Amino acid sequence: MSSVTFRELLKNFDPYPYRDFREDILKGKYKKHGKYSYIGPDSEKYDVRNSLNNLSGRQWTHFLSSVEVTAYPVSGPESYAHELRKKHPSPKPPQLMKRIIEFFTKEGQWVLDPFMGVGGTLLGASLSRRNAFGVDISEEYISIYKEVTKKLRLKEQLTLVEDARNLPDVLGDIGEFFDLILTDPPYFNMQSRPKTGEKAKKAGRKYSTPFTEDKRDLGNLENYSKFLYELRRIIGSLVPYLKKGRYLVMFIKDMQPTEEDTYLIHADIVRELSKVPKLEFKGYKIWFDKTQNLYPYGYPFEYVGNIFHQYILIFRKRGKREDPFRRYFSGND
């Protein structure tokens, strides 16, 4: 049982206010262009029926590519304090998380990350003026996140050191509160395996770097079926806290196949999470970080690929999304 509830945490939090581009349409700041279409002050075209995000049609379409190729810097101001975040074995770039958050939410909405690490999601939320609640089993990672927010002078979001399995106790009767669940769980026991190639180079060592020594860490489970089952149980317990018609987005990387399993982790997770009531799989994006180097694994004996890409799996909670603006634009939808 957790010692603190989410409601208690919320009492001392000053959230970013909700902002919807349609408020400005009602104030006459956009020019009518078609039945549902308006031209904004930035000369972009917006659709009044858009209850998901604050993007123009062009920006929306840009996100639909199934591949995201990035090359974010790991030093200087654009690295978002990577020198601190790299104490974690696999921090996510805040800019990429911001881009995802901006597609799936509007300003001032709420994002949940049950495996926050050093806070890629939470930093992305602050950069895009969204509110976030992050949980990790490791106190050390959460303190690094807090140090990063101070260094970057970014808003510190709500965090809690807790096992994600206990989140229903923490969230209690808050109900369908979150507008997006964006998370990056352990990829089975990938981190607990000895390192090779790029990972060994980045870590400066070849031995394994599990996220934590904690037995409750999903990355320390020995059995793959148990890992899939536990992840499904955790996600299943969080879907009741996600609003209808809203999304759950999860990063996953496959592992090298072995004689025991093909380890197409992304495909196994899609199958598992499709068993969660009300959750439907909507597709994926592939993320390719171009800054990785190629290693001659297996040479000159056999094929061992360099797994450079990660999957960004996209699920939606069934049901109609609420839209406070629907009544202003009658005849829409």
Comparing CB distances to ligand SAM, the nearer of 181 and 219 is: 219
Work out how close the CB of 59 gets to ligand SAM at its nearest, in angstroms, rounded to a whole number: 24
Comparing CB distances to ligand SAM, the nearer of 44 and 163 is: 163
The answer to whether 211 contacts ligand SAM (rule: CB under 6 A) is yes
Q: Which stretch binds ligand SAM (CB under 6 A): 68-76, 148-156, 210-218, 277-285?
A: 210-218
Comparing CB distances to ligand SAM, the nearer of 231 and 270 is: 231
The answer to whether 159 contacts ligand SAM (rule: CB under 6 A) is no
- Concatenated DSSP letters of 266-302: HHHHHHHHTTSTTEEEEEEEEEEETTPPP--TTTTTS
Distance CA 110, CA 107 (A): 9
Distance CA 305, CA 117 (A): 27
Name which of 86, 31, 325, 51 is nearest 201 in CA terms: 86
Q: Which stretch binds ligand SAM (CB under 6 A): 7-15, 103-111, 212-220, 277-285?
A: 212-220
Work out how close the CB of 258 gets to ligand SAM at its nearest, in angstroms, rounded to a whole number: 21
Structure tokens at 145: 């996140």
Distance CA 210, CA 222 (A): 12
C-alpha distances in Å from residue 115, one per residue of 119, 143, 260, 320: 9, 14, 27, 27
Distance CA 80, CA 149 (A): 9
Distance CA 285, CA 151 (A): 31
DSSP letter assigned to residue 232: H
Work out how close the CB of 277 gets to ligand SAM at its nearest, in angstroms, rounded to a whole number: 22
Comparing CB distances to ligand SAM, the nearer of 22 and 219 is: 219
Comparing CB distances to ligand SAM, the nearer of 47 and 217 is: 217
DSSP letter assigned to residue 220: G
Query: Which residue's Cβ has the minimum distance to ligand SAM?
Result: 117
Report how many residues bind ligand SAM under the rule CB under 6 A.
Answer: 26
Work out how close the CB of 80 gets to ligand SAM at its nearest, in angstroms, rounded to a whole number: 10
Q: Which stretch binds ligand SAM (CB under 6 A): 17-25, 157-165, 293-301, 317-325?
A: 157-165
One-letter amino acid for residue 249 of the chain:
V
Work out how close the CB of 36 gets to ligand SAM at its nearest, in angstroms, rounded to a whole number: 36
Work out how close the CB of 107 gets to ligand SAM at its nearest, in angstroms, rounded to a whole number: 22
Contact 332, 51 (CB under 8 A): no
The answer to whether 186 contacts ligand SAM (rule: CB under 6 A) is yes
Structure tokens at 25: 């349409």
The strand pair at 110-113 and 131-136 is best described as parallel
Distance CA 184, CA 142 (A): 15
Which positions from 107 through 146 interact with ligand SAM, judged by CB under 6 A?
115, 117-120, 135-138, 141
Which residues partner with 45 through β-bridges? 39
Distance CA 134, CA 144 (A): 13
Distance CA 254, CA 267 (A): 9
Work out how close the CB of 253 gets to ligand SAM at its nearest, in angstroms, rounded to a whole number: 9
Work out how close the CB of 135 gets to ligand SAM at its nearest, in angstroms, rounded to a whole number: 6
Work out how close the CB of 158 gets to ligand SAM at its nearest, in angstroms, rounded to a whole number: 15
Selected from 96, 132, 164, 239, the binder of ligand SAM by CB under 6 A is 164
Q: Interface with ligand SAM by CB under 6 A: which residues?
A: 88, 90-92, 115, 117-120, 135-138, 141, 163-165, 184-186, 211-212, 216-219
